[in-house]
Amino acid sequence: MSEEKTILVVEDEPDIQELICYHLQKEGFATLKAASGREALGVIERDHPDLVLLDLMLPGVSGMDVLKTVRFSWGKTELPIIIVSARTDETDVITGLELGADNYLPKPFSPKVLVANVKALLRRATSPSPGGTGDADHHIAVGELTMDPDRHEAFWKDQEMNLTASEFSLLALLAASPGRVYTRNQIITGMRGSDYPVTERSIDVQIASLRRKMGEGGNAIKTVWGIGYSYQDKP
């Protein structure tokens, strides 16, 4: 990440917004600000940030509605989005992840942990996915599945799938080593690095989302009970 990355901080509490921006700027990031959902959508459309930190409880358009618009109405699956919210009920966390958030951080938060999340997610989003059965350009081809990490494109039987950055990384990790069984902790480390505080539950949610998006191809992602998951080239 040699070039400066721009982070959009969507937060209606000025003190919290300033705190987040301060710590990001200290680490070399440029920051943009939005205090409402409507303002956030305008900034995303106009300024194309590299990553979004999204509060949920916003005036007017809620954070969840911002997420729905970005992921489904606009189809921006490649934009990394981290929810940062005081709403920590499991239902909210699962809903946010299912709508396409790449991670969910509860308030109050550690600024160091937040910055570590930002760095890890940007590193993953801008790095080639793990190699496997593919060419020198890191393409992955397993059975009916093909993936092009450079273009953030994934196809099942020539049908393109709209995957978030996290879903893409998860599928690439599993498909790069067909038949290998990964524990949830190994998946977390393989996707993000051990410094990335994502939960095992969020991996399960993203696996479920991947299976839905892949249709019949989702059967290739096998649950190994008591251990984790694997990708089989014959679903």
Mean pLDDT of 195-224: 83
Residue 135: inside a domain, yes or no? no
Residue 191: inside a domain, yes or no? yes
Same-domain status, 112 and 202? no
Q: How many CA atoms lie within 13 A of 56 on its CB side?
A: 20
Q: How many domains does the chain have?
A: 2
Q: What is the pLDDT of residues 174-208, one digit of tens each?
A: 998 888 899 888 888 877 654 445 567 788 888 99
> CA-to-CA distance for 77 and 120, rounded, in angstroms?
18
Q: Which of 91, 126, 161 is the last residue of a domain?
A: 126
Residue 102: inside a domain, yes or no? yes
> CA-to-CA distance for 77 and 160, rounded, in angstroms?
12
229 forms beta bridges with: 182, 223
Same-domain status, 109 and 152? no
The CATH number of residue 21's host domain is 3.40.50.2300
> CA-to-CA distance for 235 and 216, rounded, in angstroms?
8
Residue 209: inside a domain, yes or no? yes
Q: What is the pLDDT of residues 163-182, one digit of tens each?
A: 888 888 899 999 988 888 99
Same-domain status, 107 and 172? no
pLDDT band at 235 (very low <50, low <70, confident <90, very high): low
The CATH number of residue 159's host domain is 1.10.10.10
Its domain, for residue 165, covers: 140-231
Same-domain status, 155 and 201? yes
Q: 10 or 227: which carries more pLDDT confidence? A: 10
Q: What percent of the chain has pLDDT over 90?
A: 46
CA dist 188 to 44, 98, 117, 136, 201, Å? Answer: 28, 17, 12, 25, 11
